[in-house]
Structure 1
Amino acid sequence: MSRQTAVAPPPLPSLWEYMAPTDWRSVDFISDLHLSADTPRTFDAWSAYLRTTDADAVFILGDLFEVWAGDDSRHDEFEARCANELAEAACRRTVGFMAGNRDFLVGLDMLRDCGVLALPDPTVLQAFGQRVLLTHGDALCLDDTKYQQFRALVRSEAWQQDFLAKPLDERRRFARAVRNESEQLKRSNPAPMDWADVDGAAAVRWLHEAGATTMVHGHTHHPGSEPLAPGMLRHVLSDWELDHPPHRAEVLRLSARGFRRITPPGVALA
């Protein structure tokens, strides 16, 4: 967990709650697959997972896509393949999607076409007698002040309306430029432990306000579980990377027995 900052923890945004049906046996959480045409093995693993998981629901907590320049891209070759996989999965079980920092422009047109449930960030899931606070996690990384300023800008309705009015090719160039800048920053500081992490005070405040004791989030690419405060726990989701070593892919599953981490079927991480 990151050191405490001088920044006041942000209040919990408008909270949305989802109550799981009583006949559900398990819910899977994944995030940070960063799918693109350049990651065919990761795409194939994701596709196979969606087709074979026996979970009653799959909740995707952000950064499913490396970039998403607008819902009008969903008809292009790679994006259309992804949309088809989501639509097929949603025919068999509940699929929920929460926007991340790379794919925050995934909109209702895309999700409705695929039959996917839109999950606001944050969402409280009530399942198996638990209240679990779900978030991508980027809004709580307060140490990264430059990113927080950028996030506030691009999440505003005015910026998005102006941006989405531009030609798709221009939007894609902008998205690639932002992605490249982010990757350069990572290369200059390659240790994931040194990247900005969720602020502990902010996370605890959100949990208190949500009446929850467990948080599930992605974004940081440092999977694990740890206490945030006495009686409060966070589970950090794994990113997926099967095109370049070291390979990573993990699903966090919630059932009546609690949380456990599983390797997607058919994935060899050695």
Structure 2
Amino acid sequence: MNSEKSAAFTYFIADLHLAQNRPDITACFLSFLQNDAVAADALYILGDLFEYWIGDDDNSPFVLAIAQGLKALSQSGVPIYFIHGNRDFLLGKGFAQQAGMTLLPEIDVIDLYGQSVVIMHGDTLCTRDTAYQDFRKKSRSWWWQAMVKNLPLFIRRKIAENYRKKSAEATSMKSQEIMDVTESEVIKSLTEHHCSLMIHGHTHRPNIHYVNLSDREGKRIVLGDWYEQGSWLKFDRSGFQLLNRDLSQGPSK
């Protein structure tokens, strides 16, 4: 960790959906890494960093630029932790090492300035979306991933593009209720992990939610996506802030 930093805060981001056809998001992200995250104690990326991930053997200039930006932050002394999302669950140890990131389990508990916090992408909480949960179960199996990874890179790219289009069509047909989290799953997770605070992304609905646990009040912080603005959570000993910045703006002062 960078001993020269006087600030004590941690950043959380999710749902950037970085893609070659959105250079504005990429530019905002790289600026965030260079000018904001460099002052943090740590950066947690809670899934869907990329719009899709076809394999660690993708060495396109776009992917390399992201890896270099992350690696520079890591080498500056800021640890980077990554939890897989529903779009980049095939991201493996190869890219993680290239980018200087540490891969975490899909659900993890961290100590955040003396407070135990459950962190995750958030898709496992959306149990009412049964079609997605069925696909999720299949796509996380070793045989499915082995089959996909053995395909040529250009075929994987076509499959990913096709899936992205079908996913957008399917999402447009689903109700907001189906795509949102199931509160009982939130309560279950907080209870099982003996925590009162959860941080996740996936739903693209930045907000603070309160839930009643059996013996205490629980809190759920939802991270924002980066489609229209940069969005991150700043967490320190005194509390937290959900922050955002227009994609066309420069670094914060």
What TM-score does the superposition give when structure 1 sets the normalisation length? Answer: 0.84
CA contact 1:195–1:220 (8 Å) conserved in 2? no
User: Equivalent residue for 1:105?
Assistant: 90
**C-alpha deviations, 1:188-227, integer Å up to 9, x for none?**
46x8x44511111111111111111111000001110011
Matched, 1:172 2:157: yes
Deviation, structure 1 residue 236: 0.4
What TM-score does the superposition give when structure 2 sets the normalisation length? Answer: 0.89
Matches within 5 A, 1:153-168: 153-168=138-153
User: Equivalent residue for 1:152?
Assistant: 137
1:133 to 118, 121, 127: 118
CA contact 1:251–1:264 (8 Å) conserved in 2? no
**For 2:246 and 2:110, how far apart are their aligned partners in 1?**
25
Aligned length: 239
**C-alpha deviations, 1:165-205, integer Å up to 9, x for none?**
1111111111111110111123446x8x4451111111111
**For 2:247 and 2:129, how far apart are their aligned partners in 1?**
37
User: Equivalent residue for 2:56?
Assistant: 71
**For 1:185 and 1:248, how far apart are their aligned partners in 2?**
24
CA contact 2:24–2:247 (8 Å) conserved in 1? no
CA contact 1:49–1:264 (8 Å) conserved in 2? no
User: Equivalent residue for 1:20?
Assistant: none
User: Equivalent residue for 1:240?
Assistant: 226
User: Equivalent residue for 1:51?
Assistant: 34
User: Equivalent residue for 1:83?
Assistant: 67
Matches within 5 A, 1:1-270: 25-53=8-36, 54-73=39-58, 75-92=59-76, 93-188=78-173, 193-194=176-177, 196-230=179-213, 231-241=217-227, 247-264=228-245, 268=249
Quick one: which amino acid aligns to residue 262 of structure 1?
Answer: L
* SS across alignment from 2:89: coil
CA contact 1:52–1:265 (8 Å) conserved in 2? no
CA contact 1:83–1:114 (8 Å) conserved in 2? yes
Quick one: which amino acid aligns to residue 32 of structure 1?
Answer: D
CA RMSD of aligned residues (A): 1.9
